Chains A and B, each alone.
Chain A
Amino acid sequence: MAAVAQAIASIVVCLGLVSCAVIGADAMPAEKAYGLVDSSAPEASDAAGAPAATPDAASAPSLRERLLVRSAELGLEVARPEDAVARCETLIEGKGGWVERRDGGKLVARVPVDAFESVLGELRGFGRVLRDVVQAEDVTEQHRDLVIRLDNAKRARERLLALLEKAEKVEDLLKIESELRRLTEEIESMTAVLQNLDGRIAHARVAVEFRAPAGADRPARRRPSRFEWINRVGAEHVLRSF
């Protein structure tokens, strides 16, 4: 009975440490964060007595393994923005993406990260590029921390479930169930955050704005110049006269 109460108390204390877990390379190993490992055990060391390399340093991802959230903002000058928006939607859907939002000549879409560069290349050919911003946010550490914390929380929940089966006193049962509820909520929350992050990694965000050349929407008719030769020059005259 006392052992069960002690186990519950230690698990509760360790759960409190979950929200204080250090993010990044110095993150506490998962088992210690949830009190699942005897922290008094000496750390492994090589024959010379030097401390072993920390798991974090050994598993640091290479450049290729880094997880990136990619995004781009393009501003394009085109003859007909409405046609360009339609072409853009067709392009994005053809590459397996989707449009998140459309507002006049502005469009925000998600495209599979593998198609990101090819979509940008095709969009740049739509017209004159006025703005071209490409970004990549490194979320490797954030992702890894979430995975570790989620895994630890799930294991802690398994242990609590095992304790629940052994509990006899109503008081202990209620405590365990309360902690189980809280832990379940945290697991669900972290799962949602991780899924969102995975989605952002897998699908890059592309924001495009299509604009007509300035002055293109001015009425074609204007008051003729009082100077006849000025009325007779212009691109439209050149194009008609040849």
Chain B
Amino acid sequence: MSFAASERLVRTALLLALAFGLAACGSLRMDLPPSFLKLTSGERELKATTADDARLWVREFGDPERGDLAFWVQALRYDLEARGYRPDAEAALVRDAAGNAGELHRFSALLEGREYGYAIAVFLPSPGLVRVAEFVAPRERFDELVPAVRDALATLGG
């Protein structure tokens, strides 16, 4: 077996192990804010929406680089601002159900001629794993709902 092939095999095995490990943790759970409806989603993601199209999406990503929270938050802000997102408020420290520290950042974004509020919370629940919770709503609804979304993050686990 060539070196490249063996490297691919190892990587695949690691990813499978990661996947099984994650599966063993069960589905993502979160007490949704009032007026949100949970949509059908995969085990390691959660989608919810309100009747007027405010959206909540929780996902996990592999973090092979093992960056720390400060690094990921800075890299994320750098990229979002390059895309035209405008920071909306000071970052807020948040914790999930397991007590893992995260940061919640808020932005304004102009998409297809309409202004949206966008909030993203980043957690590192375990080494090699990044968990993000994203909340998007039309600007006029965003400010009303974001406090409840922030409170709901404290129930995020799984």
Contact = CB atoms under 8 A, between A and B. Distances in A.
Interface of B: 39, 47, 49, 55, 57, 59, 61-63, 65, 75-76, 79-86, 107-111, 113-116, 118, 120, 130, 132, 134, 136, 139
Given A79-B113, A242-B49, A233 B108 contact: no
Contacts of B110: 79, 212-213, 215-216
A233 B85 CA distance: 12
A228 B139 CA distance: 28
A83 B33 CA distance: 36
A217 B71 CA distance: 27
Contacts of A218: 82-84
B136 A227 contact: no
Contacts of B83: 218, 220, 222, 234
Given A213-B109, A215-B86, A220-B83, 19 more contacts: A127-B115, A213-B86, A216-B84, A218-B84, A227-B75, A229-B63, A229-B130, A230-B76, A230-B79, A234-B85, A234-B109, A234-B118, A235-B107, A235-B118, A239-B111, A239-B116, A241-B47, A242-B47, A242-B57
A57 to B, nearest CB: 52
Given A128-B139, A215-B86, A239 B55 contact: yes
Contacts of B139: 128
B86 A238 contact: no
Contacts of A227: 65, 75
A225 B107 CA distance: 18
- Summarize B's interface: helix, strand, loop or mixed: strand
Contacts, number: 86
B44 to A, nearest CB: 13
Nearest to B119: A235
Contact of B75 (A212, A225, A241): A225
Contacts of B76: 230, 233
Contacts of A128: 115, 139
Contacts of B82: 218, 222-223
A236 B116 CA distance: 10
A229 B107 CA distance: 18
22 contacts: A79-B110, A79-B115, A127-B115, A214-B86, A215-B110, A218-B82, A218-B83, A218-B84, A220-B84, A222-B79, A225-B79, A230-B79, A233-B132, A233-B134, A234-B80, A234-B83, A234-B85, A234-B118, A235-B134, A238-B55, A239-B111, A241-B47
Interface residues of A, number: 30
Contacts of B47: 241-242
Contacts of B79: 222, 225, 230-231
B84 A239 contact: no
B45 to A, nearest CB: 10
Nearest to A218: B84
Contacts of B113: 79-80
Contacts of B108: 213
Contacts of B111: 235-236, 239
A232 interface: yes
A229 B130 CA distance: 9
Cβ-closest 7 pairs across A and B: A229-B61, A215-B84, A216-B110, A235-B118, A218-B84, A222-B82, A225-B79
A242 to B, nearest CB: 6
Interface in A144-159: none
